[in-house]
Amino acid sequence: MKKTVLLGAMTIAGLAAGAASAATMDDVKARGKLNCGVTTGLVGFAAPDANGEWDGFDVGVCRAVAAAVLGDPSAVEFVPTTGKTRFTALASGEIDMLARNTTWTFSRDVDLKFEFVGINYYDGQGFMVPKELGVSSAKELDGATVCIQTGTTTELNLADFFRANNISYEPVPIETNAEAQPLYLEGACDVYTTDASGLAATRAAFENPGDHVVLPEIISKEPLGPLVRHGDNEWGDVVRWTLNALIAAEELGVTSANIAELAAGTNNPEINRLLGTEGNLGEMLGLNADWAKMAIMAGGNYGELFETNIGENTPIGLSRGLNAQWTDGGLLYSPPFR
């Protein structure tokens, strides 16, 4: 028994030892690879394709950061993490950044000592039920068995929602999205709940997506975004402004198609500053002048990433909604590049 305690303590001490490293950017440059934490597989957001290449909306953010820092969008080591392991992986230094549809909350930011660098998807928790149950509102779910992905904010929202509406339910905690699918399809639970984007992605993978409906209620705010460790502000800035560059590029009309042309110089000073032909923004970040150009070329601007991975023309079929640019009535609003 003594040995068990000892081994446990060694593991913990080992985990904690990794946390002390500070200059993440130097580590990434020395390694020549970015270690990016993603989900274990959620179609559209992060999943390996038929060739084993990681692909998706969150993956696009990782590739953009790798392109900005290392000049190579493929210099990324993707580390699949579950809802449970993601924070330990980031805190221990196993990964440099986490892009795993993670909700920005107060306690994660302040108490867990992480730095959310922005929001790349405005989401909310929803419910999916089989059509044959004839349910049209989440408030009719009294007594239902609900499958939840454990280790997320969803189980807390769920408890709050049912308590606030004074109806009962039976929670079935499930470790990953993949394990939840067969349980839901076999009927071991009546309802599956997670972020609405996740529901759309899960439903797209079903044999008959039309047999299932997503209920209209959105019971929480889930701003999803990439995050880094607290205390390394230089690295935090790099990830934050790479994300902002993708968003600003869409707003300014910079796409992967016209970027080569625009990078030669334009009449718009903001585009010039963004693409590094004017000013020295790259130098301030400790990167090359063309950092943002590389990031945008990796997978396109924010709008392109959205359309190719989760947009209306993909099986996931999400509309922009809140995730449209502020000029189109959405919430995306990048601070100015100046």
Partner 1 sequence: MSTMTDPPSESFRLSQLINDTRYRSYTFQFIALIALVALIAFLGANLISNLAAAGLNISYEFLGEPAGYDINQRLIEYNSQSSHWRAAVVGVLNTLLVAVVGCFLATVIGVAVGVLRLSNNWLIRKIMAVYVEIFRNVPVLIWILIIMAVFIAILPQPRDFRGEDAEASMLLGSFAFTGRGFYFPKPVMGPGSGIVVAVFLASIAGIFYLRSYAKKALFDRGQMIPTLWPSVGLFFVPVILAFFVMGQPITLEYPELKGFNFKGGIFARNSLIALTFALAIYTAAFIAENVRAGILAVSKGQTEAAASLGLRPGRIMNLVVLPQALRVIIPPLISQYLNLTKNSSLAIAVGYMDLTGTLGGITLNQTGRAIECVLLLMLFYLTISLSISAIMNVYNNAVKLKER
Residues contributing to the site for partner 1 (CB under 8 A): 1, 4-6, 8-10, 12-13, 15-17, 19-20, 83-84, 87-88, 91, 107-108, 111-113, 132-133, 141-145, 150-152, 155-156, 158-160, 162-163, 169-175, 182-183, 186-188, 190, 230-231
Q: Kindly state the smallest distance separating residue 37's Cβ from partner 1, in Å.
A: 15
> Is the CB of 17 or the CB of 284 nearer to partner 1?
17
For 217, other C-beta atoms within 10 Å of its C-beta total: 17
Q: Kindly state the smallest distance separating residue 218's Cβ from partner 1, in Å.
A: 19
Tell the residue number behind the tokens 């769920």, with chain if given: 158
> Is the CB of 152 or the CB of 242 nearer to partner 1?
152
> Is the CB of 31 or the CB of 84 nearer to partner 1?
84
- Per DSSP, the residues of 111-172 read TTTEEE---SEEE-EEEEEEGGG---SGGG-TTEEEEEESSSTHHHHHHHHHHHTT--EEEE
Give the residue ranges of DSSP H helices in 196-258: 196-204, 233-252
Q: Kindly state the smallest distance separating residue 265's Cβ from partner 1, in Å.
A: 45
Q: Kindly state the smallest distance separating residue 142's Cβ from partner 1, in Å.
A: 6
> Is the CB of 31 or the CB of 163 nearer to partner 1?
163
- List the beta strands (DSSP E) in 190-307: 191-195, 212-214, 222-224, 227-229
Query: Measured between alpha carbons, how far is 172 from 184 in angstroms, rounded to an integer?
Result: 10
> Is the CB of 86 or the CB of 273 nearer to partner 1?
86
- Relative orientation angle of helices 57-70 and 302-309, to the nearest 10 degrees: 140
Q: Kindly state the smallest distance separating residue 39's Cβ from partner 1, in Å.
A: 15
How many helices and strands (H and E) does the chain possess?
14, 14
Query: Measured between alpha carbons, how far is 254 from 302 in angstroms, rounded to an integer?
Result: 10
Q: Kindly state the smallest distance separating residue 326's Cβ from partner 1, in Å.
A: 33
> Is the CB of 69 or the CB of 219 nearer to partner 1?
219
